[in-house]
Chain A
């Protein structure tokens, strides 16, 4: 009987993997459902076990079982490990994803699972924290804060009750690494959390997963039950979000677990000292915690040896949007944006030229192809007026209207603001109105020379609509001023980072805002 591997990842299922799997079962094969390998242009991917390793075909339709089994299928890939998309990666965190049965403890143990936990438990908590510090691991949720320092703070906090919280509220569009890991290798996350618990002296953990990830929720719950004895006395529980993007902000997430509105807390106190239920809490992203088993099992140095500048280790980059070969590509920091978009991603799916890429989700900046030599590195992106965030790269072709994308950023912020601070709650709505005025002016009188800011009895903003100077240049000035207020006056990253997509769109694509390309940077 032939052994066949087919992914049960939500993305693969959305592309029809379930029907393909049923067809192979019907043909008498033993079908093993794995996570996804991470390249969606070849999904549904079917891998046949042979003496020469796993041979892949994809995409495969349910009616093509015969062609795959007799080896004549037109989408023959060959040895999947040698496919250039996979061979070029450095899979530390996603080493098992797509290869093992996600809920098989035997598979997990056979692929170097639990070695990290056993190593950690044989050592003193301080030694584990030291290893994480030495690895250079930084928070993969977006902020890039050194994980070891966070853990040290919790370890040093004098309290008997401490918690480990995993932030799996992966709300950013263009990101799906957390989801893929939870569906494809859930024990890895559990092991990482158990190591964190040992390192800081916690006995209970929570995984907060967004409700939009039903497959991930099921996989994590099943994996927690299966591994309960292995990680005991550490206890884990899944908590399900309820559709609020802002709960991805760590303090809003804590409030949500506590059963409250997911509103952002003012810091200090840091969650590391007064977090969940007021107790010292390690709160880390899925990818940060999932990187931990590797660091313990292979050594901190093996992790730190890879990387660029102060960004050490690997980043699971996600290529999304209008991309030809989209998916998950784990690689050491330092690779350039252009290599990722063009060489790995293969440009756009539509075949049209790339016009913009947004890095880091709805709060990340838009970059034009002229900036594609930017290396993937926390500091380099900050210096370029953007952020890496959760390393999602959303690609747009030349049909994109950047003013509409700037409007969407403000609209999204207005819809998802928790309402606690004014710059975010009110500023986002005013931002939508301003971009609407720019779009209206751009369309009615594109090249009108502007009567500037407040001249001719006009004001930048007024309660009397006919007194507002609606020229693009005046409104652009107002938009920049508003972004400044949001950036420096908001309580958290939602209001504080929404200006990134807006300002980067203004800076790099002024022609979409009624300003002549390339010059005239509004009234700065």
Chain B
């Protein structure tokens, strides 16, 4: 059932974007946006559609940090770990976030509610520490902001 759906989604996007090799990244983005992650069935379907080997597609998927091989939590909290946020107390906030959300950096909570992920720079470097919560940017993250984030992702 799942594999059928995956194949259907891949075919739909291949129809729209074409079968050129250079469409592999746009296709991976599109499929992941729709299904949430890139599983083996997706890799197989993409390889067949673009006339590439599965190893080739697997190599591309695993090279890029953005592509997930398994589903993320229902909410995704990305915290910046780069230098400019570190200069503004990023490490302390990172530890506090892991504690408050109950999940280690780089992991998804066991109930599947939230993933906490590192990101290296959101380009908001004068107002850190910064976070991206389900795609929404939040600057100057402190304990109060963390509390608001924790409540937002509890829903």
Interface residues of A (CB under 8 A from B): 10-11, 13-15, 40-41, 43, 170-176, 178-179, 211-214, 239-245, 256-263, 277, 318-323, 326-327, 349, 358, 362, 392, 394-397, 400, 405, 408, 412, 416, 418
Contacts and interface: CB of A to CB of B under 8 A. Distances in A.
A358 B123 contact: no
Contacts of B138: 14
Contact of B127 (A15, A174, A262): A15
B70 interface: no
Interface of B: 20-26, 28-29, 59-60, 63-67, 80, 82-88, 119-128, 130, 132, 135, 137-140
Contacts of A174: 82-84, 125
Given A14-B137, A176-B126, 19 more contacts: A11-B123, A11-B139, A173-B82, A175-B123, A213-B122, A240-B29, A241-B66, A242-B64, A244-B63, A244-B64, A245-B120, A258-B21, A259-B23, A321-B88, A362-B83, A394-B87, A396-B87, A400-B87, A408-B86
Contacts of B120: 171, 173, 245, 412, 416
Nearest to B87: A321
Nearest to B67: A242
A11 B127 contact: yes
Nearest to A183: B123
21 contacts: A10-B122, A14-B139, A15-B140, A171-B121, A173-B82, A173-B121, A175-B125, A176-B126, A214-B135, A242-B66, A256-B25, A257-B25, A259-B20, A260-B60, A262-B63, A262-B64, A277-B22, A320-B125, A349-B88, A394-B87, A396-B87
Contacts of B83: 173-174, 321, 358, 362, 394, 405, 408
A258 B22 CA distance: 4
A243 B29 CA distance: 11
A208 B72 CA distance: 25
Contacts of B137: 10-11, 13-14
A21 B122 CA distance: 22
Given A257-B22, A258-B22, A326-B125, A173 B85 contact: yes
Contacts of A321: 83-84, 87-88, 125-126, 128
Contacts of B130: 14
Contacts of A408: 83, 86
A326 B29 contact: no
A164 B48 CA distance: 31
Nearest to B88: A322
Nearest to B57: A259
B138 to A, nearest CB: 6
B50 to A, nearest CB: 8
